[in-house]
């Protein structure tokens, strides 16, 4: 994993408790995470902090869509459109059939 991606993942995980506390009635230590089985195998086998970042992103897309992308990927990569929010750093798109197109930049 590059230093930039590692720094972004660590920053993101540092913000997770703060984001969880913004839910009004949500207990600060009870984060909403998607099931591990909802992730592709590569993400399921990733280090815990990376896997949980993807689980959090999948379960909290609306919240992450409100946070601008500051991780340096905002110019886009691999010919993709620039990231507009932190959500775009993890979830590219959710198709009408519910399948997810992932951004794998966090996997390093």
The alpha carbon of residue 5 and the mean position of all alpha carbons in its chain are separated, in whole angstroms, by 12
User: How many structural domains is the chain composed of?
Assistant: 1
Is residue 59, in this structure, part of any structural domain at all?
A: yes
Separation of alpha carbons 52 and 27, rounded Å: 18
Q: Is the pTM of this model over 0.75?
A: no
Given a cut of 60, whether residue 21 has pLDDT beyond it is: no
Higher pLDDT, 20 or 108: 108
Identify which of 69, 61, 36 has the alpha carbon closest to the alpha carbon of residue 50: 36
Domain presence at residue 51:
yes
Name the residue range of residue 100's domain: 3-16+35-107
Residue 73 falls within a domain, yes or no?
A: yes
Residue 96 inside a domain? The answer is: yes
Q: What is the mean pLDDT of the chain?
A: 78
Cβ-contact 16, 55 below 8 angstroms: no
Confidence of residue 38 (pLDDT cuts 50, 70, 90): very high
What pLDDT shows up at residue 65?
A: 92
Strand partners, 102: 91
Q: How does pLDDT run across 66-97, given as a tens digit for each residue? A: 998 877 675 655 666 778 888 988 998 899 99
| pLDDT reported for residue 102 | 94
Angstrom distances, CA of residue 56 to CA of 77, 78, 81, 99, 105: 23, 24, 23, 17, 15
């Amino acid at each position: 994993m590059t230093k930039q991606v590692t720094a972004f993942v660590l920053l993101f995980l540092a913000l997770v408790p703060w984001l969880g506390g913004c839910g009004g009635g949500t207990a600060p230590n009870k984060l909403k995470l998607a099931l591990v089985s909802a992730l592709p195998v590569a993400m399921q086998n990733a280090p815990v902090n990376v896997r949980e970042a993807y689980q959090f992103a999948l379960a909290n897309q609306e919240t992450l869509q409100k946070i601008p992308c500051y991780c340096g990927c905002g110019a886009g990569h691999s010919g993709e459109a620039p990231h507009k929010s932190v959500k775009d750093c993890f979830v590219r798109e959710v198709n009408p059939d519910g399948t997810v197109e992932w951004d794998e930049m966090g996997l390093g």
